[in-house]
Amino acid sequence: MIIGHLPSGYILARHLPPLPLVMGAAILGGVFPDFDMIWFYLVDDRAVHHHRYWVHIPAFWSTVCAVTMPLIYTFARQLFLPAVTFFVAVMMHCVLDTVAGGILWHWPFSNEFTHFMTIPSRYDNWIWNFVLHPVFGLELLIWGWALWLWKNR
Ligand SMILES: [Zn+2]
């Protein structure tokens, strides 16, 4: 998924109570795993697929969630719903990346990516392979849904 993560966070937040921080947590969680692109391009020189970094691995987030949520619930209960929203949005990011990009859903038991479909490599620049594939319509649908929600808020 290339452009659908940000509006997916917005859609998530629009289906939750309009409490402080929920919208921001949903949008941040929706895009947060892709902040690894900074490391991918500027430090790692694209040596490892960025979906192998910890921010794209569901087992990592499940562990972080299992450790932090009881603490947040106990010591900062006002942040509980935003924190849950953040983790749900991160998992939505992983699900959306599973459509065509591949996610390590079975890590640490397997290092194989799980993906719903493989995008054929037809163009030199990888982004055209995604943008000109019918699956990009899903991203446009997500944007359309988010814009419809925004217009009817
Ligand atoms: Zn991603």
Residue 54 pLDDT: 96
Q: Please count the residues of the chain.
A: 153
Residues with CB under 5 A from ligand 1 (ion): 33-34, 97
Q: Bin 58: left if φ > 0, else alpha if -120 < ψ < 50, else beta.
A: alpha
Residue-wise pLDDT for 22-37, tens only, equals 999 999 999 999 999 9
5 strand-pairing partners: none
The alpha carbon of 74 and the centre of ligand 1 are apart by a number of angstroms equal to 31
The alpha carbon of 32 and the centre of ligand 1 are apart by a number of angstroms equal to 8
Check if the beta carbon of residue 21 is closer than 8 Å to that of residue 82: yes
The alpha carbon of 75 and the centre of ligand 1 are apart by a number of angstroms equal to 31
Distance separating alpha carbons of residues 53 and 34, to the nearest angstrom: 10
Residue 72 pLDDT: 98
The alpha carbon of 63 and the centre of ligand 1 are apart by a number of angstroms equal to 19
Q: Is 114 helix (H, G, I), strand (E, B) or coil?
A: strand
The alpha carbon of 1 and the centre of ligand 1 are apart by a number of angstroms equal to 7
Q: Is 96 helix (H, G, I), strand (E, B) or coil?
A: helix
**Which residues of the chain fall below pLDDT 50?**
none
Residue 126 pLDDT: 87
Residue 148 pLDDT: 98
Contact partners, residue 153, CB within 8 Å, separation at least 6: 14
Residue 57 pLDDT: 98
